[in-house]
Chain A
């Protein structure tokens, strides 16, 4: 084969070029009309979502447009994988949508960087009282609300009844007061391990990827905290921190979870449950429609365990308006409309998600799919404390998440003990928050 020098250099240049791409961001094209460049009364709204979630958003938009003549909302639905590279690129280019959807653990990064609209002066009086104290705490930055909590989700335990029955575990908690203690969970796990076929494990925990914040449930159950109320000072180097790391590491040491269940794994916990590799899995309610249509075994839901106290991760998403929006009043009014009782109820019931309004947590909610599981998830959500949710709204979460992932991985699969793990976590968190 003959290759001229010039052709070769051109080919080399072309091949080397993509090396630079990781550093230079992604330019999305959602066509936001922020900055008032769109038609009068038009809002752009970027979100990802399951089919049920997107249907819920579409019907909310339609109702909003009917209730507000002259207002239109353009929905831009994108895959989750592209959502935040897209949003970041638009924010960087000064062309963001007016409104977008954001997980609580990512919210702080945007609010702290001055990218979101401070809603204090745009919301109706008394809006705060419509939300649970926990949900309101999750959208605060520097004492002001920068979004409205649209829904939450928290992890309970989905169990494969066939496997549990086969191992002789027939008594699962049916009320939040009866939830297994950590010790009882250990005993159940040992019984399952003894009774399950080889290659099958008692459970899997859903802390992979950014889901590592779900490990914090164990920290909260140990009555611990990872950040002080200033959202900067690390508090994880504590007895509670060591206890949570020690307990979760014992899942691996005792063979209660597959080794692939670690925080850095590319295998999601739910997949091992669907395939029958594990008997139980920590899971949010959002998984119920999938479980209903996919699982080829009988399954049920029970409560997550209780340590020193009950506790859980505050998952879910807020809706936020961007600082650059040209229509702050209209944007705030849309956020209020979508989080009003009727809209939130319809959205949460169709998509199997938990509401953030106390007037929907009084027994009036019922999931469209497997409605009997609703009370378990609502009861589990009642275990989440406001001070726990507030920590996850830290502007430094994007720096804290990799620290938790790496250190827990070292404790789970490596030989790092609990004391060294929490010390390293505290150091990493301090680096991330600048404390």
Chain B
């Protein structure tokens, strides 16, 4: 084991000084509300006056609430599909744009542009595309003789719309991270593999992909957490419908907290969401120690 050199005392103090503002902000705006939300989750309250302390009753109610389980399943399904698809597309475009492609700077910029658009604006663009009465997509499908799809009134197509819009929104970010990872891989490794007789696919599979391990790991965690907290796109694009088919955990928590005014129960849903995200991050962290792979 390598000996960690002891740092001078002044340097440590300076370091603490630099991180102190971050931790102060994190404490005030994250940790305090977090504890507050946990306390609310133990109450039955409409948000006015003092709530009634009910212990774990809100959590017990979650277990038998079919809407919660359905929203959890929808969120999990959304997370798996969106994470896999947007990472695969991000990797594919990054590899493409890392090669000697004409105008690749332009293509990179175009792909990253959706990142600069807010979620609500993205969803509104989605509404224009997927509106089943006047939307662009159904008109295009009709023009080429294909049957029109009920994007808004049938459960599976409606779920597909939130997935497609999210992928469009997020692929550019995934590409950006992969592109940074790809540029850290020296050409000598590929050259050595080529001399050893590896073809393009073998070089991609056995050189590029393993060396992108840290990027992939980072993206998996980030995509999963982003997907678990999806709200704006669903809220604007489908409102959780039709028939609850696109109701995810955060839209359910929002409706419960701000429409039904059952704020204790909504806070309990929020705590479960946090727990799932933390558990996932920890499990990924432990499982992926060997993937801190660098050249």
Contacts and interface: CB of A to CB of B under 8 A. Distances in A.
Interface string A76-112: 0000000011001001100000000000000001000
Interface stretch (A58-66, A383-391, A409-417): A409-417
Contacts of B257: 22-23, 25
B243 A410 contact: yes
Nearest to A88: B47
Interface string A1-44: 11100001011111111111111110000000000000000000
Given A2-B214, A15-B226, A109 B46 contact: yes
Contacts of A382: none
Contacts of A11: 222
B242 A264 contact: yes
Interface in A378-435: 398-399, 401-402, 406, 409-410, 413-414, 432
B21 to A, nearest CB: 13
Interface stretch (B81-89, B108-116, B194-202, B273-281): B273-281
Interface in A241-264: 258-260, 262, 264
A266 interface: yes
Interface in A84-142: 84-85, 88, 91-92, 109, 113-115
Contact of A267 (B49, B152, B184, B221): B152
Contact of A16 (B131, B242, B277): B277
Contact of B36 (A3, A10, A24, A432): A24
A199 interface: yes
A402 B33 contact: no
A275 interface: yes
A277 interface: yes
Given A1-B215, A19-B274, A114 B49 contact: yes
Contacts of B48: 88, 91-92, 113-115
Contacts of A15: 222, 225-226
B167 interface: no
A197 to B, nearest CB: 13
A23 B37 contact: yes
A398 B242 contact: no
B102 to A, nearest CB: 26
Contacts of A22: 231, 250, 253-254, 257, 266, 269-270
Contacts of B267: 23-24
B76 interface: no
A287 interface: no
Interface residues of B, number: 68
Nearest to B155: A413
Contacts of A345: none
B98 interface: no
Interface in B19-53: 22, 26, 29-30, 33-34, 36-37, 40-41, 46-49
6 contacts: A14-B26, A24-B33, A262-B153, A262-B241, A265-B152, A267-B152
A92 B278 CA distance: 29
Contact of A23 (B240, B271, B294): B271
A277 B134 CA distance: 8
Contacts of A231: none
Contacts of B26: 13-14, 17
Contact of A92 (B47, B134, B215): B47
Given A16-B225, A22-B270, A1 B181 contact: yes
Contacts of B250: 19, 22
A20 B33 contact: yes
B240 A264 contact: yes
Given A25-B47, A277-B133, A399-B261, A262 B254 contact: no
Given A12-B225, A266-B127, A266-B237, 16 more contacts: A1-B215, A13-B30, A15-B226, A16-B225, A19-B225, A22-B250, A22-B257, A23-B41, A24-B37, A114-B49, A258-B153, A262-B241, A267-B133, A275-B134, A398-B261, A432-B260
Q: Which of A25, A114, A259 has its CB near the most chain B CB atoms (within 10 A)?
A: A25
